[in-house]
Amino acid sequence: MSNAESATNQVTKRDIRSAAIRYMFMACNTFNYENQQAPAVVFGLNKVLRKIHKKDEDYKASLNNHFNYFNTTTWMANLLLGASVAMEQKDGIQSKEAVQAFKTGMMGPLAGVGDTLIWVLYPTIMGSIAGYMGLQGNPTGAIIWLLLNIVFFFFRIKLFDVGHTSGLKLITALGDRLNVFTEAASIMGLTVVGALIPAVVKMNVQLKYQAGEVTLPIQTEILDKIMPALLPAVLTIVVYKLIGSKKIGLTSIIFLIIALALACSYFGILGV
């Protein structure tokens, strides 16, 4: 960022590193079912944004914007947040809409790609190595895993910096090519999300249909015969529509689901 405007903002390398570490620490530690990682984004960026937005009103508007729903793989988020800071540095509070569009456009695709790489592939590989070595009482695998994590830690700080210095340049230079990339990432992301529904959302009906001598377990003999993971699919569609309708708040949806789960458990409709 070498133009005259950013000189007055006085955002230093140190500010960027501190923002990266603040976000990385908080990441999912304020995770909630409502705006998920958004509080961590605000916590991470609030110091550096204070330097950028001198007027209280601008600062509030910017942070309120970052309080909007955000969720992606935390490792990838560094890249997005670094670029977001650069955008706000350049255009001030006018960049609000662009920052929001950029973050929401990229987080979904990146979550699909990043979660599988970082939370499935990496722990599966390291876990099998360290686990088998562990069975022999050998901590070598665990030590290697720990050291790799430390390397990745510094790499992630670097990612934030890369996002800040060249993320935006890259994005503007790529132009429509970026859209091709985003679309491609969306394709992979949606394939993974589609797979996540039956893999992560579980509902097991315990009821049995009884007619004279015949007992028919509803889950295995009826529902699964129609379609496996039928109920999770229906639940996903219902919740998706409910959120889209904006008639009911997220908190209410969450409590409805918990109440439904408790009631179904009490009456023995659903089981673990």
For the bound state, the minimum distance from the C-beta of residue 36 to another protein, rounded and expressed in Å, comes to: 7
244 counts as binding another protein under rule CB under 8 A: yes
Answer whether 69's CB lies under 8 Å from 38's CB: yes
Stretch that binds another protein, among 10-18, 110-118, 158-166, 208-216 (CB under 8 A): 110-118
Taken in order 27, 29, 35, 38, the sign of the CA dihedral is negative
The token duo for 8 is: 């007055």
Number of residues lying near another protein (CB under 8 A) = 139
Residue selected from 76, 77, 203, 205 as contacting another protein according to rule CB under 8 A: 203
**DSSP SS3 for 203:** coil
Nearer to another protein, 184 or 216 (CB): 184
- The CB density around residue 270, as the number of other CB atoms within 10 Å, is 20
CA-angle at 264, arms to 258 and 268, nearest 5°: 145
Distance, in Å, from the CA atom of 45 to the CA atom of 67, rounded to the nearest integer, reads 11
CA distance 165 to 17: 12
Nearer to another protein, 73 or 211 (CB): 73
Which string of x and - marks every residue 74-93 that binds another protein (by CB under 8 A)?
xx-----------x--xx--
Residue from 56, 213, 214, 247 that binds another protein (CB under 8 A)?
A: 56
Whole-angstrom distance, CA of residue 126 vs CA of residue 104: 31
Residues 113-152 that bind another protein (CB under 8 A): 113, 115-117, 119-121, 123-124, 126-128, 130-139, 141-143, 145-146, 149-150, 152
Q: Does 34 bind another protein (CB under 8 A)?
A: yes
The answer to whether residue 165 forms part of the interface with another protein (CB under 8 A) is: no
The 3-state DSSP class for residue 139 equals coil
